[in-house]
Structure 1
Amino acid sequence: MGKATGFIEFNREEAEERNPLSRLKDFKKYSAPFSDEVLQRQGARCMDCATPFCHIGMEIAGTTSGCPIHNLIPEWNDLVYRGRWKEALERLLKTNNFPEFTGSACPAPCEGSCTVAISDPAVAIKNIERTIINKGFENGWIQPRIPARRTGKKVAIIGSGPAGLASADQLNQAGHSVTVYERADRPGGLLMYGIPNMKIEKKEVERRVKLLTQEGIDFITNTEVGKDITASQLREKYDAVILCTGAQKQRDLVMEGRDAEGVHFAMDYLSGVTKSLLDSNFQDKNFIDAAGKDVIVIGGGDTGADCVATALRQNCKSVVQFGKHPKLGVVRTSENMWPAAPNIFTLDYAYEEAEQKFGEDPRQYGIQTKKLVKDEDGRLKELHTVSMEKVKQEDGTFIFKEIPGTEKIWPAQLVFIAIGFEGPEQPVLKHFGLETSNRKVAAVYGDFTTNIEGVFAAGDARRGQSLIVWAINEGREVARKVDEYLMGASILPTVNA
């Protein structure tokens, strides 16, 4: 695949990015597209490696390695190298319903398990993928696919994130009549309101929803199951129901001062900023504003990084991000060898921007928050921490211990909690009478059936917080099971063939 000696002749080239200080003036995408020539060189780096581990889509040590939707990566890399972009698009769409989303916001576990990455930087798979789909839209290759026939069966999908959209797309193409219910005012779930515009521009989400609508899918927004429509009404009206509500119950801090004014969940902050941007270009002032404030983000993941980037664009006075783990090294450890996803230090777009603006990486490692302190008016004024060390015990497990004498006080008028999610929100599950396991919907992967006849569950609601590619995987797979349930057999492909 690609050029036989391409991985020897060509180095990995990173996507161009807009100047960090310049892009802080807007909420547009931070990355710039590659030229065709650069991408063809990058496609040429794909080896004829016999067993392409970029396909594997499995978990190693609890982390995803390879592509969970088993994209035909070597095939479309080869086609890009040869300049056959339309054929590359056809290969890509065989496995991935929404390459514009995975090409923008997926952490690219395929690159971590790329065979080239054993000794050199991986093939630039994610950037190639994003360019293929963009060319498809720009050149008019992507047109509405209207099903030739309708089965007469009706399916309701609750939630319009990547799992819900993928299952809707598949079932619609199978000829079923699909209606997607979304409680927000715009479809897209976390693609619309959870991931900032700098990563996924909302015009891309709207473009995809418009295409799905043209293909026959109905979207009903501002509708919450259990309030605006009942489970019994859905089950009576539709032949099958799929819950793709995500895992949006945010994990909270339990400590002194949590009730201070100025302490918010990260997703409330991010979604409010995006909604105000879309509704009025911030003219409605209906968002949490970090302007002129000392901001602290608690939690070291991607959501926390997005909070950093957003606060920078609002012209915060300072921003710091706390993580409990020690700083990672720049190379893999012996416990993290290929093809496992590389657990190494990287410089995310948000941290690069903070370095440019304030002169240093905003991340602080091995930090434990002890309490939040408010002033006499109940407003947050400072945060108290202690440093932690990660200690390996005799049985191989790790614990965190406080380091005496490392207590510190940080000025803060805004704190964003980004320490993960506990699972799906429970009211809708209780409303349906669904059985749960570890707070998630009890439904076995590959089967997706719940304890309620005709009701299925997929995506983060079933598996817990995960990646966009896993959501698409489950959306495609649950669609096949629902098609079988409705028709006795399915014409839809299986992801795991």
Structure 2
Amino acid sequence: MGKPTGFMEYTREAPPKKSPLERVKNWQEFQIIMPEEKVQAQGARCMDCAVPFCQTGTTMEGSEEIGCPVYNLIPEWNDLVYRGKWKQALERLHKTNNFPEFTGRVCPAPCEGSCTVALNDDPVTIKSIEYHIVEKGFKEGWIQPSPPKKRTGKKVAVIGSGPAGLAAAAQLNKAGHTVTVFEKDDRIGGLLTYGIPDVKLSYHVIERRLHLLEEEGVTFVTNTEIGSDYPSDKLNKEFDAVILCTGSQVHRDVPAEGRGLDGIHYAMDFLRANTKSLLDSQHEDGDYISAKGKDVIVIGGGDTGVDCITTSLRHECNSLIQFDIHPEKGTERGEDNPWPLYPQVYTQEEGHKEAQAVFGDDPRAYKVMTKKFVGDENGNVKELHTVEVDTVYENGKKVRKEIPGTEKVWKADLVFLAIGFTGPEQELLEQMKIETDGRSNVAAEYGKYRTNQEGVFAAGDNRRGQSLVVWAIHEGREAARECDKYLMGSTHLV
């Protein structure tokens, strides 16, 4: 695929980005569109590797990713881009991925970790090629609404408008069913809208796709929480099937002394309020948690923690530290992390680069566990007491062992808890008598997605647990396929 000797002739070149010190002054996306000839050269690096692990789409023990979960036809569209056949590349891209403009921005690109070129060189820039294909498609007007030619007469309710819900809705609408998506928030998009800062995924990008879905016939209902605003038993009366895509939104907490002090917030509360205020009024309403002039500590080393960094910097915080309970990763794969698994190596996310540009150092502190929050006389957090820990396994259980002499006190005015989620909210599941598994997720077998209730399916984070946008799209598509099969006896959806 691509040019047979391309991977030997061209080096990896990622799209340029605006400088960290420039971009922290605003909320605009900062990736720059590359000249087409440069993108084509990157497509040429895709080699005829016989077995394209990049599009495998699976996980191994420990949830390590191998390849693309939506089975993107990566070598095919890399070759088409190399040969300048952009429209055909877009068609192949849309065949497996409803929203490449989302994944081309926010996916961590497990496909690149499984790229054969990566065995001896830098991987193909798969994610950025995907981004450039879809953006060219919108620019050229190739992406137009394509409503189904006929309707089946079946009605489906999709509960939740995150990536799983939107993918399920798009596929079911394509099959000719009448689809209504219910969202409890005031805007469609779920965590795409309120969980990812606008600098990484601008809302106008989401709206652009939503308008297409509406023109294709999908109905969106906002400010409507099933179970309270809309009785759950009414779903059975008005719809032939239901797909639950409610996400995983029960926060994991830090049960340390002083947790109730003011100034300690869940990361998603911080991120949601910031984006809503930004979209509503460009922050003029002041209805958000401001980090301006504050000493900020983010507890949690994952993507959500980085999003808190990105946001706090744009608020002009005074200082910034991110606690990661894990040790710092090395620059080379370990023996337990061979190719084609997703590489567990040291990297700097864009938020880390921004913090280093502003404050002079990478903001991360490793192997740090919070022992206590301490407040001032007014009940506001003023410092954190921590200790370094080693993570070991005893009798199959993860144990944090404190390292004597590593105690430390950190100054903090704001603390954001970004250590993930324990599962979906249970109220609606209890109302609908939906069975859950041992982790409180919806009990629905992978590949089938059926719950214990007739005609009710589940997909995305509420079924698999907190995961990637691309896995949510994968599950939404597959659940739509199974729902279509349930409704019609057979399906053409893939």
Is TM > 0.5 for Structure 1 vs Structure 2? yes
CA-CA distance at 1:64 after TM superposition: 1.4
Tell me the distance in 2 between the aligned counterparts of 1:391 and 1:427: 35
Corresponding residue of 2:3:
3
Letter in 1 for 2:441: K
CA-CA distance at 1:88 after TM superposition: 0.3
Q: Pairwise mapping of residues 18-417 of structure 1 onto structure 2 (< 5 A)?
A: 18-61=18-61, 62-391=63-392, 399-417=399-417
Q: Deviating runs (4+, > 2 A) in structure 1?
A: 389-393, 395-400
Q: Which ranges in structure 1 are unaligned for 5 or more consecutive residues?
A: none
Q: Which ranges in structure 2 are unaligned for 5 or more consecutive residues?
A: none
Corresponding residue of 2:481:
480
Tell me the distance in 2 between the aligned counterparts of 1:334 and 1:198: 36
State the SS of the aligned residue for 2:48. coil
Cα 1:65–1:430, aligned 2, differ >3 Å: closer, same or farther?
same
CA-CA distance at 1:400 after TM superposition: 3.0
Tell me the distance in 2 between the aligned counterparts of 1:396 and 1:428: 33
Q: Could you give the per-residue CA deviations for residues 176-201 of structure 1, whole angstroms, max 9, x where no partner exists?
A: 00000000000001111101111111
CA-CA distance at 1:397 after TM superposition: 7.7
Letter in 1 for 2:412: A
Cα 1:224–1:412, aligned 2, differ >3 Å: closer, same or farther?
same
CA-CA distance at 1:350 after TM superposition: 0.4
Q: Could you give the per-residue CA deviations for residues 245-281 of structure 1, whole angstroms, max 9, x where no partner exists?
A: 0111111111111100000000010011000000000
State the SS of the aligned residue for 2:39. helix
Q: Could you give the per-residue CA deviations for residues 418-450 of structure 1, whole angstroms, max 9, x where no partner exists?
A: 001101111111121111002000111111111
Number of equivalenced pairs: 492
Corresponding residue of 1:447:
448
CA-CA distance at 1:396 after TM superposition: 8.9
Letter in 2 for 1:43: G
CA-CA distance at 1:392 after TM superposition: 6.8
CA-CA distance at 1:143 after TM superposition: 0.6
Letter in 2 for 1:435: E
Letter in 2 for 1:68: P
State the SS of the aligned residue for 1:40. helix
Corresponding residue of 1:423:
423
CA-CA distance at 1:399 after TM superposition: 4.0
Tell me the distance in 1 between the aligned counterparts of 2:42 and 2:261: 50
Q: Could you give the per-residue CA deviations for residues 61-88 of structure 1, whole angstroms, max 9, x where no partner exists?
A: 3211101111000000001011110010
Q: Could you give the per-residue CA deviations for residues 303-346 of structure 1, whole angstroms, max 9, x where no partner exists?
A: 00010110000000000000111100111111111001000000
Tell me the distance in 2 between the aligned counterparts of 1:431 and 1:194: 26
Letter in 2 for 1:88: A
Q: Could you give the per-residue CA deviations for residues 363-408 of structure 1, whole angstroms, max 9, x where no partner exists?
A: 0001010010111111111110011234577x89864321111111
Q: Could you give the per-residue CA deviations for residues 466-497 of structure 1, whole angstroms, max 9, x where no partner exists?
A: 1111111111111111111111111212xxxx
Letter in 1 for 2:448: D
Cα 1:425–1:160, aligned 2, differ >3 Å: closer, same or farther?
same
Tell me the distance in 2 between the aligned counterparts of 1:139 and 1:427: 46
Corresponding residue of 1:490:
491
State the SS of the aligned residue for 1:264. strand
State the SS of the aligned residue for 2:429. helix
Tell me the distance in 2 between the aligned counterparts of 1:300 and 1:59: 21
Tell me the distance in 1 between the aligned counterparts of 2:14 and 2:400: 36
Letter in 2 for 1:21: L
CA-CA distance at 1:209 after TM superposition: 0.6
Cα 1:90–1:300, aligned 2, differ >3 Å: closer, same or farther?
same
Cα 1:171–1:295, aligned 2, differ >3 Å: closer, same or farther?
same
Tell me the distance in 2 between the aligned counterparts of 1:227 and 1:399: 41
Kindly indicate whether residue 470 of structure 2 is the aligned counterpart of residue 469 of structure 1.
yes
State the SS of the aligned residue for 1:441. coil
Calculate the TM-score normalised by the size of structure 1.
0.97
CA-CA distance at 1:30 after TM superposition: 2.4
Q: Report sequence identity in percent.
A: 58
Tell me the distance in 2 between the aligned counterparts of 1:30 and 1:310: 14
Calculate the TM-score normalised by the size of structure 2.
0.98
Cα 1:419–1:74, aligned 2, differ >3 Å: closer, same or farther?
same
Cα 1:20–1:159, aligned 2, differ >3 Å: closer, same or farther?
same
State the SS of the aligned residue for 1:436. coil
Letter in 1 for 2:466: Q
Q: CA RMSD in A?
A: 1.1
Tell me the distance in 2 between the aligned counterparts of 1:201 and 1:158: 23
